[in-house]
Structure 1
Amino acid sequence: MTTHPLDSLTADEINKAVDLYRAYDVSDENTLFINVTLVEPSKEFVRSYKEGEEFDRSVKIVGVDSNPDGGFVASIDLKKEQVTALERIPNEAQSAYSFAEVGLATVLTKQSKEYQDALKKRDITNLDLVQIDPWPAGGVVHESIKPGHRAMKTISFLKENETDNAYAKPIQGVISHVDLTLKEVTCVEDFGVVPVPKAHARYDAESQSEFREQPKPIEITQPEGTGFEVEGNQISWEGWQLRASIHPVEGPVLHQVSLNERPILHRASLSDMVVPYGSADPMHSWKAVHDGTEYGFGNLTNSLTLGCDCVGEIHYLDANILTFDGSVNFVENAICIHEEDFGIQWKHMDFNNFIPTEVRRSRRLVVSSISTIGNYDYGMFWYLYLDGTIQVEMKLTGIVGISAFDEKLHNPEQDLKITEELVSPLHQHLFCVRLDWDLDGGTNQLHESEVVALPVSEDNPNGMQLKKCNKRI
């Protein structure tokens, strides 16, 4: 049951939206659902909303079907129980990928005779031990795939067994181009045989022969309970008020952030990111994946575990995610909320009179979520502090993109050697965070302030004077 216009979509609401779309008589047997998002009410409506008032609930469903274009966007009014608009995405663009398409690209690649022949050149015949990683084609679609068709590229890795870390053994030089619309591999490029690395890189505990001495435990307890309160998706802590939810594309989203009843942010989230690979290696030179809009941070949100992902006195928020077949995936513990000690807030000792030192401890509220996209794991952490500071941190973990080391082709300026058999190309993770300000409820402007040194002059003979420069962005 929803009690606020910004409440997360319930499973019942998602199921209702899917049923309304299917009843609209446009769904076919090839329909795949990508995501469903709440049509968020305007800032003005949310600002003036009073508890108990009625409000509309509308959603947008993104998906693909048999039409050879970028897919569809369906606008659905849940209150009126009708599809209010249906837009087609033009050929020049594509909707995000679904799990079904990732699986299809994997199956089609392994079924391709041309691909199998490329593996035989490398003495690989057991396809059960081959891991396929489908990648978005992005703006570098192979010429064998028609404009408007959905496309992926696949690269491969070899495992010793089902639980092996395949990323230690890249099958270098083979790229398959998959036309998802036609459901076929249109081309397999082979840039030459490079030996598959032999050393394994298993990271699971069972595969380790020895461990370092375990550090002494740190116990985090709050015997009087947490300092925050949660009601639905609304969080209250030390004068802070905010709402937290999971968006299928953006991951964790904060709404209505205020401090001591003073409005600060209407909305804060990661809008997207891009990972350009800066290598001439043909296995990487085309990679520029948008992990948000091409896959979805919320769609791939982890179910968090106490004592591992989050430590201490924890409160979790769950999420409902639309899957490709129209069902709902319930993600338990999608958002972690907890407090952390953060050292000294401030301290001073009166140097002249040696009056006893005054110290105040700092702490912060942490709202976090973790998403796994291929070989990378992204931790998204929002921090709120006692002094009014708001901070966002992206924690990157997982496994870097790699290639097999080829001494003849190796470019040490672009591809960094990480083992005797593996290199990792230079690449960047560029994040774009959107902050919709609502400071004091008025029109806000963004200014950049910096301090510059003044030139030596008659008024600044020592060259030590500084000046604050303020520029509106």
Structure 2
Amino acid sequence: MTHPLSRLTADEIDAARALLAEHDLLGPGVRVPVLALEEPRRAEVAAHRDGDSVDRRVRAVLLDPATGTSRTVLASLSRAAIDERIEHDPAADGQPPITGEEMEGVDAIVKADPGWREAMARRGIDDVSLVAACPLSAGSFDLPGEKGRRMLRVLSFLQHRPDDSPWAHPVDGVVAYVDLLERTVVELIDTGVVPVPEEEGNFGEGPYRQSRTPLHVTQPEGPSFTVSGDDVVEWEGWRFRVGFDPREGLVLHQLSIMDRPVAHRVSVAEMVVPYADPGPVRFWQNYFDAGEYLLGQQANSLELGCDCVGEIHYFDAVVADPDARPRTIRNAICLHEEDDGVLWKHTDVFTGKQAVRRRRRLVVSFFATIGNYDYGFYWHLHQDGAVELDVRSTGVVFTGAYDERGSRWASQVAPGLGAPYHQHLFCARLDLTVDGAEGRVDELDVRRLPVSAENPYGNAFERSVTRIGSERDGGRMASMKDGRVWRVSSAQRRNRLGEPTAYVLEPEDGPTLLADDSASITARAAFATRHLWVTAYDPARRYPAGELVNQHAGHAGLPEWVAEDRDLDGTEITLWHTFGVTHFPRPEDWPVMPTASCGFRLAPSGFFDRNPTLDVPPGH
């Protein structure tokens, strides 16, 4: 019997398509940018037992290119019923995500435009077959004639030959605004001819260094984890269910350790990449890689020995294409163990006893390619109960021309080639259930104490505790100088010392969104203006920037939710944690960028009564 959180199968996607067609929702040309599992509420999932019947529901976003209309449909596959239809106003509600076929179709639209071809000719490019037209999300800037239009903005790059990297040769100064429904260039911006950088930026072709000897990672007796029913993983006391969403990608469900709940659901629910160049060609460059481009749809098929090493278990992911037909991404998710150094060690000066234990971690990961960037998402589970997320950014930096006068908004990475300053800001959705459904959140700071009668030598410090009691209190900033962490404690269980069992969220404390408060991107990516938001749990509130991010004017998602100011003390809660990288590109980032990491850690704090790894055996 299917579990309520089982990943959608190819048969279920076929059934969804048939159901939509039966109810005349898939007319000629109608596209389906999103078809996803509609997850039940926490309580329903928690009450489910093997053998219980399951109402399998899906959520489909439909787009009719002939009319420009779109809607969201909620449907039950189990009951073969349409439960709800939500009509969208594109001018007010935003647009459905961009499909791959729309991205691919832009090349022909741009190259058919006489104005664009003339702009290329002015730059000495008469043969446009080696020009790569790069389609990018349009954003929302209240420009004349754009409201309600489904658009992309297009920059261009030149190739010396078909296998030459176009990112090395930006054709700068030209941007085409494309209406995807009319299939025309509605505006062309040309700020003047700029030399196209000549030096090539290809990579991965050798010659290779000869200094390395083989490094083998082997487990002759097999891995320590088990996978049952295609979804459920057990390892070192941990148990969880692997999920996959076409928008978010990898999701971990029902995360527990030693049969005690930690989280109902964890994922990366959104990410935004805002650029810093305010010029007329690039001011609009702000990308929501989940909400606009669908991270899960862009997942890579991972390769043994390259993306993952060791004793690997792979999970395929099945997603729907724009025809609502199933597409299998082979080896989309990688599961493996890694040695992780010393777990604990001590040499006792009194007894002479020596003991040391090796640490290992379980890694669940996937990789997605969004245009020029590649992102790896690695969830690490540790034997001591800690959970970490490590996000690694690599790929090719976005490029433009760099003149000899320099630029305030970009770094020169090769002769005449610039890479604009930008940020990668991720938002993790953490539906925590620490020892039960209800919890509380406190902000913990270290506090220096002045010299006083109580502290005569000035060495004392303590910890302050601030309860986050309601949603309007829940927008918080990290603070390295204050050693700030956020504690999520159980409202139902205490440890042997009488304290609530808890986990703490340990942030990295990087910059939040750097755009001005009045900027369009600040309204659209309001989640990125704080490191932490806390909201009352609601399964319908999935994405921190709202449901339809593409071309939405902003203020959706978290700003709307926290305005309700619901109580957070002893109730079901969701944490939204923003973290990321502010990237000032270096020459070392060209022509392909070494991985840059960011993330956070969830660590048990009074969850266990003592070190939970005392029973880890010594190594051989």
For the aligned pair, the TM-score class normalised by the smaller chain equals over 0.9
Higher RCO, Cα 8 Å, sep 6+: 2
- 1:370 CA displacement: 0.3
Of 420, 427, 440, the residue aligned with 1:425 is 420
2:474 alignment partner in structure 1? none
Confirm whether residue 347 of structure 1 aligns to residue 345 of structure 2. yes
Residue in 2 aligned with 1:106? 107
* CA positional deviation for 1:49: 0.9
Structure 1 counterpart of 2:442:
447
Q: Which amino acid aligns with 1:85?
A: E
Write the distance in 2 (CA, Å) between the matches of 1:344 and 1:456. Answer: 39
User: Using the alignment, how far apart are the partners of 2:82 and 2:49 within structure 1?
Assistant: 28
1:310-321 maps to which residues of 2 (within 5 A)? 310-321=308-319
Partner residue in 1 for 2:451: 456
Which of these residues, 305, 308, 311, is aligned with residue 307 of structure 1?
305
**Contact between 1:69 and 1:90, CA under 8 Å: does it hold in 2?**
no
Q: Which residue of 2 aligns with 1:367?
A: 364
Q: Which residue of 2 aligns with 1:119?
A: 120
- CA deviations 1:160-189 (Å, max 9, x no partner) are 111111101111011000011222110111
- The 10-residue stretch of structure 1 (230-239 or 278-287) with the greater mean CA deviation from structure 2: 278-287
Aligned to 2:4: 5
- Candidates 278, 281, 284, aligned match of 1:280: 278
Distance verdict in 2 for CA 1:223–1:414, change over 3 Å: same
Q: 1:267 aligns with which of 258, 265, 268?
A: 265
Which amino acid is the alignment partner of residue 128 of structure 2? L
Per-residue displacement from partner, 1:341-381 (whole Å, max 9, x unpaired)? 0000111111244x142101111000000000000001001
Give the equivalent residue in structure 2 for 1:225.
222
- Report the Cα offset of residue 325 of structure 1: 2.3
Say if 2:27 is the partner of 1:43. Answer: no
| CA offsets 1:49-97 (integer angstroms, 9 cap, x no match) | 1111111101011121046556221111101112222222222211100
Is the CA contact (8 Å cut-off) linking 2:199 and 2:415 kept in structure 1? no
AA aligned to 2:388 is Q
Q: Which residue of 1 aligns with 2:572?
A: none
CA distance in 2, matches of 1:428, 1:329: 32
Alignment-derived partner of residue 387 in structure 1: 384
Structure 1 residue matching 2:435: 3-state secondary structure: helix
Instruction: Give the structure 2 partner of residue 376 of structure 1.
Output: 373
Aligned to 1:21: 20
Correspondence for 1:130 = 131
Matching residue's letter, 1:117: E
Paired residue for 2:234? Answer: 236
Q: Show the 5 A alignment for 1:209-220.
A: 210-220=207-217
Q: Retained in 1: the 8 A contact 2:404–2:416?
A: no
Task: Name the TM-score, length of structure 1 as normaliser.
Answer: 0.95
Distance 1:229 1:29 in 2: 46
How many Å separate the matches in 2 of 1:159 and 1:262? Answer: 56
In the alignment, is the contact (CA less than 8 A) between 1:156 and 1:174 conserved in 2?
yes
Distance in 2 separating the partners of 1:155 and 1:214:
41
| 1:111 partner amino acid | A
Q: For 1:294-347, what per-residue CA distance to the aligned partner results, in whole angstroms no more than 9, with x for missing partners?
A: 011101000000000000000001111111122221111010000000000111
Distance (Å, rounded) in 2 between the aligned partners of 1:126 and 1:469:
67
Counterpart of 1:126, as a letter, is D
SS in 1 for 2:98: coil
Q: Which residue of structure 2 aligns with residue 55 of structure 1? A: 54
SS at match of 2:452: coil
Taking the aligned partners of 1:427 and 1:453, their CA distance within structure 2 comes to 36
- The whole-number CA distance in structure 1 between the counterparts of 2:289 and 2:387 is 24
| CA distances 1:130-176 after superposition (whole Å, capped 9, x unpaired) | 1111111111364343x212011011100111111110111101100
The aligned counterpart of 2:149 is 149
2:385 is paired with a residue whose SS is: coil
Partner SS state of residue 53, structure 2? coil
Identity of aligned residues (%): 38
Match of 2:543 in 1: none
| d(CA) in 1 for partners of 2:194, 2:451 | 61
Distance in 2, Cα, partners of 1:350 & 1:395: 39
Is the 1:106–1:154 contact (alpha carbons within 8 Å) kept by the matching residues of 2? Answer: no
- How many angstroms apart in 2 are the aligned matches of 1:132 and 1:318? 32
Native 8 Å contact 2:68 2:181 kept in 1: no
DSSP 3-state at the match of 1:401: coil
Aligned counterparts of 1:40 and 1:406: Cα–Cα separation in 2? 52
Aligned partners of 1:218, 1:352: CA distance in 2, in Å?
Answer: 40
8 Å contact kept, 1:144–1:186: no
From 400, 403, 408, give the equivalent of 1:406: 403
Q: Quote the Cα distance in structure 2 between the aligned partners of 1:331 and 1:306.
A: 15
* SS of equivalent to 2:404: coil
1:183 equivalent in alignment to 2:180: no
Q: Distance in 2 between matches of 1:464 and 1:260?
A: 39
1:297 matched residue in structure 2: 295
Q: Taking structure 1 as reference, are residues 399 and 448 closer, same or farther at Cα in structure 2, changes over 3 Å only?
A: same
- CA distance in structure 2 between the aligned counterparts of 1:418 and 1:433, rounded to whole angstroms: 31
- Please give the alpha-carbon distance, in whole angstroms, between the structure 2 residues aligned to 1:138 and 1:446: 34
Shift of 1:29: 2.5
Post-superposition shift, 1:454?
A: 1.0
User: C-alpha separation between the residues in 2 aligned to 1:133 and 1:452?
Assistant: 51
Distance 2:445 2:233 in 1: 34
**Structure 2: runs of 5 or more not aligned:** 469-620
Tell me which moved more, 446-455 or 184-193: 446-455
Matched, 1:169 2:164: no
Query: Which whole-Å CA distance do the structure 2 matches of 1:462 and 1:155 have between them?
Result: 64
SS in 1 for 2:170: coil
Query: Does the alignment pair 1:200 with 2:200?
Result: yes
Instruction: Note the C-alpha offset of 1:216.
Output: 1.3
Mapped partners of 1:273, 1:215: distance in 2 = 37
Q: 1:467 aligns with which of 462, 466, 482?
A: 462
Q: Structure 1's 377 and 141: CA in aligned 2 closer, same or farther, altered over 3 A?
A: farther
Q: CA deviation at 1:290?
A: 0.4
Native 8 Å contact 2:116 2:176 kept in 1: yes
1:8·1:245 contact (CA, 8 Å) conserved in 2? yes
Moved more, 123-132 or 315-324: 123-132
Distance of aligned partners of 1:258 and 1:70 in 2 relative to their CA distance in 1, 3 Å threshold: farther
Q: In 1, Cα distance between the equivalents of 2:277 and 2:20?
A: 44
Asked if structure 1 preserves the Cα contact closer than 8 Å seen for 2:2 and 2:54, the reply is no
| Superposed displacement of residue 269, structure 1 | 0.3
3-state SS of 1:351 partner? coil
SS in structure 1 at match of 2:247: coil
For 1:380 and 1:446, locate their aligned partners in 2 and report how far apart those are by CA, in whole Å.
Answer: 26
Amino acid at match of 2:298: L
Q: Is 2:444–2:466's contact at 8 Å kept on the other side of the alignment?
A: yes
Partner amino acid, structure 2, of 1:385: H
TM superposition score normalised by structure 2: 0.73
Relative to 1, partners in 2 of residues 1:137 and 1:70: Cα closer, same or farther, differing over 3 Å?
farther
